[in-house]
Structure 1
């Protein structure tokens, strides 16, 4: 009993009816156009004219439902007035949010286009039905109690007459009419709520597009997490070591100390650019152009390592500077992560960096000594790590269809070797 009355006491029930009435009123401007053929064919029987007007009117309403703007408006109104959780319509292919990312998938042309006109016709039909039936019941509910002291009360409308016993019977009948009007409102709202997700909600093609869009966004955030891990992790490692070196040589070699401080400044500035970009994307703001570090920036990266006191022995061969695009950016991040790990876990000594570009692939390598560390504290366990470095590298290489090997290379060395398929530009 209480559950049956509960919908009649909700405000959303009557906001849904208001939504239905608004749909009925919005269809009125199309009615004069539906009357034009009937005015030209006055000799037709009355019943045929009524049917013809209704069919043309329904056709015009359906055509109005084909507009994309109509569906967007209906979805927004259904969310607010019917309290139905509906996603925004998938409008089509959107541009990529950042360089190197895929655009939003497009919905096949014409997929589910009939669903919005059908829902609009149902919306208008329920609106007119609720307005007429509910209006009659409300008029009856307000009129019948006025005949309280008469022997008989009645109501006539459109040729129909209803007679009830006078006195308190008219009050009971009036209250019953108002209650039925509320039930009609609840029925109209329930029908709209039931049909809205099925006809206004995403179709099968749109659900696939939304799932693909969520997958792309997740992949983009994972990529940003990798970028942020590589950039910030390298910067913090390098600046920590550079600060230690600057503190040790500040009195004995001020020139070297100033060079280390300049390197800290440059590393921090580059990391801030990466951080600003990533935070802008995560906030879904209009972030600027993504900072792109490529193999062309490798000499600068090696210089920062030297300022940190590391001995770097680069071996660069082939036309590695001609590597472009995603492979060049990924190669830079791979080397950056490998060198960061060498600084964190290495035991001093030279760090060998190898970049070899050939016509069939790009080979990258980082080799460093392992051991208990040195007096400067740069050894295994000197820096806390998240444990995501090598898995992130493996994922990055896998996405580029490359090969990766990481592990001990003899008793005192650690080796990272990566091979990426690449096509050199002419």
Structure 2
């Protein structure tokens, strides 16, 4: 018994009925335009005029349903009043999917009017009968069925039944709309694919940001740690070198904060500032910071690096930054060889450093005399970045006491 009356006690039942009433009321501004056939053809039979008015009214309602803003508004109201979880439409419906919203709107209006008229009559009867407002002789006649009021407790019973029937109408109308909403306002197969593609794009963008953040912050922390150690060691004997190391720490931290602000803005879905783009043009600054940190660099640049633009230049900078960070973090302090060659069809990048008895890769595992593995964030991030650019990567021991990173990226087709 309690389960049977539970829908009558839910607030969503009556908010759903309100949603149906709103659909009926929203169709009223179109009714004057639907009455035009009665003006154009006043001599037509009443039945023909009524059919023409209803058909034109339905057509006008359907045309309103074709607007994308209408679909968005209906989805928003359905979420609030029907309590149905509906995602926002990902794209403009195409083909037969375009008619799902007009069909929903027509059914919405039809159910709204049917529910409003039926429940309205029942509620009026429920209010009128106990007060004996009806003519005892005439009563109420509807579709051949008559109801007369003779006062007494029988009128209260009938009134209560009318109000209960009005509540049942609300349950039925709300239930039908709640059942129809996911099928007509919910995403179609094409929209689900579009939503999945949009979600994959967001995940890919965040994955890219994670790589950028790892490269930038990881490099900065490594460089500043070493620079701080250098400044501490030479603070008394060489104040000039100590101040240079501190300035380098300041510059590195400022660049990392710019990257961090941008990434956090995107992750919070805020309108971030223009993304800080590090390219091969910033390579001299990166090398200077490493030299301030005490690294010994042997740099070989060949070709016209200024012609390397766009994605290729940005990816090349990050690849070199990761390779140099590994060399600075895990090398033995010997010279680090850096090679950048801009060829007509390829861009070649290389980082070689002394590994001593074995050094750690960006993944945190030993290479050289130790064991070489590619788990973690550093090497997989580099490999993924190179793969997306259709390039080639070689990373691992180079002889007994060296570690080598070599990358070859195609130049054509980069943007």
TM-score, normalised with respect to structure 1 = 0.89
- Given candidates 388, 403, 407, the residue that maps to 2:392 is 403
- What CA deviation, in whole Å up to 9, does each residue of 1:179-212 have, x standing for no partner? 1111110111111111111111222222211111
* Alignment match, 1:271: 256
Distance 2:63 2:413 in 1: 54
What secondary structure, in the 3-state scheme, does the structure 2 residue paired with 1:44 have? Answer: coil
Q: Please say if 1:217 is aligned against 2:202.
A: yes
Task: Pick the aligned partner of 1:192 from 150, 154, 177.
Answer: 177
What is the DSSP-based 3-state SS (H/G/I as helix, E as strand, rest coil) of the residue aligned with 1:216?
A: helix
Does the 8 Å contact 2:227/2:292 carry over to 1? yes
Alignment of 1:25-424 (within 5 A): 25-91=25-91, 107=92, 109=94, 112-147=97-132, 154-157=139-142, 160-163=145-148, 167-371=152-356, 387-423=376-412
Secondary structure of the structure 2 residue equivalent to 1:114 = helix
Q: Which moved more, 1:65-74 or 1:47-56?
A: 65-74
* Per-residue deviation, 1:384: 7.6
* CA deviations over 1:108-146 (Å, ceiling 9, x no partner): 655622111111111100000000111111122222233
Hey, what's the Cα distance between the residues in 1 that align with 2:285 and 2:357? 29
Structure 2 length as normaliser, TM-score? 0.91
Matching residue of 1:94: none
**Preserved CA contact (<8 Å) 2:136 2:148:** no
CA drift at 1:222: 0.3
Deviation (angstroms), 1:154: 4.4
State whether residues 361 and 421 of structure 1, in contact with CA within 8 Å, keep that contact through their aligned partners in structure 2.
Answer: yes
Aligned CA distance change for structure 1 residues 85 and 230 (closer, same or farther; 3 Å): same
Q: Is the 8 A contact 2:283 2:317 kept in 1?
A: yes
Q: How many residues align structurally?
A: 404
Change (3 A) 1:286 1:265: same
SS of 2:129's equivalent in the other structure is: helix
Per-residue deviation, residues 219-270 of structure 1 (Å, max 9, x unmatched): 0000000000000000000000000001111111111111111111110010
Contact 1:367 1:416 in 2 (8 A): yes
Tell me the equivalent position of 1:101. none
Q: How far has the Cα of 1:54 moved from its partner?
A: 0.5
Contact 1:237 1:344 in 2 (8 A): yes
Structure 1: tracts of 5 or more residues without a match: 92-106, 374-378
User: How far is 1:5 from its partner?
Assistant: 1.2
Q: CA deviation at 1:163?
A: 4.0
Equivalent residues of 2:82, 2:178 under 8 A apart: yes
CA distance in 1, matches of 2:139, 2:356: 103
Q: Deviations over 1:36-69 (max 9, x none)?
A: 1122212222211111111011111111111222
- Return the alpha-carbon distance in structure 1 between the equivalents of residues 3 and 349 of structure 2: 69
Name whichever of 39-48 and 260-269 sits farther off: 39-48
2:372 alignment counterpart: none
* 2: CA distance, partners of 1:418 / 1:382: 15
C-alpha offsets along residues 275-304 of structure 1, whole Å, 9 cap, x if unaligned?
011111111111111000001111111111
Residues 135-181 of structure 1 deviation map (CA, whole Å, 9 limit, x = unaligned): 11112222223359x99994345775224775333222221111111
Judging changes above 3 Å, is the alpha-carbon distance between structure 1 residues 108 and 408 closer, same or farther for their aligned structure 2 residues?
farther
Instruction: Judge conservation of contact 1:153–1:166 (CA < 8 Å) in 2.
Output: no
Q: Please give the secondary structure, in 2, of the residue aligned with 1:32.
A: helix
Gaps of 5+ in 2: 366-374
Q: Distance in 1 between matches of 2:4 and 2:299?
A: 79
Provide closer, same or farther for how the CA distance between residues 31 and 382 of structure 1 changes in structure 2, counting only shifts above 3 A. Answer: closer
> Cα 1:246–1:229, aligned 2, differ >3 Å: closer, same or farther?
same
SS for the counterpart of 2:301 is: strand
| Shift in alpha-carbon separation, 1:408–1:381, aligned structure 2, 3 A | closer
For residues 5-52 of structure 1, the C-alpha deviation after alignment (integer angstroms, 9 at most, x for no partner) is 111101111111111111101111111111111222122222111111
Q: Is the CA contact 1:400–1:420 (under 8 Å) kept in the aligned structure 2? A: yes
Q: In structure 2, do the counterparts of structure 1 residues 319 and 109 end up closer, same or farther at CA, with 3 Å as the change threshold?
A: farther
**Partner residue of 2:19?**
19
